[in-house]
Amino acid sequence: MALVMSLDSEMKGKSTIFFPDIVKPDIMNFINENGESKKISKGELVPKSILLNNFIYLKSGLLFYIKRTNNYTKPKFVNVITPNRLTDYHLLLENNCTCCKSIKVARDSEIIIVDKSLIKNLIKNDIELFTRFMFDANYFTERQTALAIFLLTSSPEDKLIKFLFDILVALKTPFTSMWLTIDIKLTREEIADILHISVIKLDLMLGSLKKNGMLTKEKGIFSVNAALFTELSPCPLGREDAQGCKSNNMLKFKTKNMIEINNL
């Protein structure tokens, strides 16, 4: 069975599911050239009009991307969006309903919004960049599906370990020390929402990790013992034949193949 700790930094990034990928340089250039910057305050919701018609890129701060379920007695699905990432590839080519999704500003943030019509026009003006958007959109969707399956089928303990690992990777933490610092402050309630569990269950798990010498907390900052991740699989679903989160189904979305498809 492949072990996640033995992977290089790039493969560690591919094995994460709690955080979207960092935006690629070519897309980043497009966003900077065509986007509009906005500063938004903690506690605000990004207006639906913006969510419906635009791509939203986080330049600085912290966002929670929230997806409502049909069961009002269960928690919502919450994604943490850290800087240099798009919040979603939802409705890439269509302007339809977004009633089940919202973006909450978790910390004072700066976003860049890009009109989706500009993305659509790339199919005529820059097919290679358009293909990159489509590739990343499909990869984003696949990882979101893997996350939903993982959250609904894994134990609370496995979810916590996987989240701690993913956040360390997202923060580009070098896995070279016994103790790894998670340099971001999240409340108990926020972590519980992200893991789709109760605050009480989270407190019990954190207490157990502290008791067993796997976790410390000082001034709101967690430090994790690297031994916690020793047997973590690269696959979020724990498959023994895992080669990372990107499945073989993604091969059909390779840039060259998509260009050929669009030229048929």
Residues 89, 141 contacting (CB under 8 angstroms): yes
Nearest partner of 230 among 172, 148, 175, 157, judged by Cα:
175
Segment (H or E) for 113: strand 101-115
Let me know if domain 18-152 sits in CATH 3.20.20.60. no
Query: Tens of pLDDT along 237-253?
Result: 665 444 444 444 444 44
DSSP calls for 59-82: EEEEEEEEE--S-TTSPPEEEEE-
Q: Read off the DSSP letter of residue 45.
A: B
Give pLDDT, residue 62: 95
Give pLDDT, residue 48: 84
Give pLDDT, residue 38: 95
- Spans in the chain with pLDDT lower than 50: 240-255, 257-262, 264
Q: pTM of the prediction? A: 0.84
Residue appearing with tokens 């497009």: 30
Give pLDDT, residue 258: 44
Task: Determine the 3-state secondary structure of 244 from DSSP.
Answer: coil
Give pLDDT, residue 218: 87
Give pLDDT, residue 171: 92
Which amino acid is it at 126? Answer: D
Sign of torsion, CA 50 52 58 60? positive
Give pLDDT, residue 155: 92
